[in-house]
Amino acid sequence: MPNLKHEKLCLAPVAGVDEAGRGPLAGPVVAAAVILPSKGIPRGLNDSKKLPAAERARLCGLLHSRACVGIGVVEADEIDTLNIYWATMKAMTLAVEALERCLGARVGHVLVDGNRLPKWSFAATPIIGGDAISLSIAAASIVAKHTRDTIMAAHAEAHPHYGWHRNKGYGSPDHLRALREHGPSPLHRRSFRPVAEAFAATESFAPHTIG
Q: In sequence order, what are the beta bridge partners of 35?
A: 68
Q: Are strands 29-35 and 109-113 parallel, antiparallel or unpaired?
A: unpaired
Residues of each annotated binding site: 18-19, 113
Residues of each annotated binding site for a divalent metal cation: 18-19, 113
Say if CB 125 and CB 16 are below 8 A apart: no
Q: What is the pTM of this model?
A: 0.93
Say if CB 88 and CB 112 are below 8 A apart: no
Q: Please list, in sequence order, all residues whose beta carbon lies within 8 angstroms of the beta carbon of residue 165, skipping any fewer than 6 positions away.
A: 152, 153, 156
Got the DSSP string for 57-108? HHHHHHHHHHSEEEEEEE-HHHHHHH-HHHHHHHHHHHHHHHHHHHHTS--S
Q: Give domain 5-160's CATH number out of 3.40.630.30, 3.30.465.10, 3.60.10.10, 3.30.420.10.
A: 3.30.420.10
Supply the mean pLDDT for the chain: 94
Question: Is pLDDT at 208 greater than 70 in this prediction?
Answer: no
- For residue 210, what pLDDT band results from cuts at 50, 70 and 90? very low
Say if CB 21 and CB 118 are below 8 A apart: no
| pLDDT tens-place string over residues 32-48 | 999 999 999 999 999 99
Provide the angle, in degrees to the nearest 10, between the axes of the packed helices 135-158 and 53-66: 120
Instruction: Determine the pLDDT at residue 23.
Output: 97
Say if CB 48 and CB 138 are below 8 A apart: yes
| pLDDT tens-place string over residues 99-144 | 999 999 999 999 999 999 999 999 999 999 999 999 999 999 999 9
| pLDDT tens-place string over residues 174-196 | 999 999 999 999 999 999 999 99
Question: Is pLDDT at 204 greater than 70 in this prediction?
Answer: no
Instruction: Determine the pLDDT at residue 147.
Output: 98
Question: Is pLDDT at 167 greater than 80 in this prediction?
Answer: yes
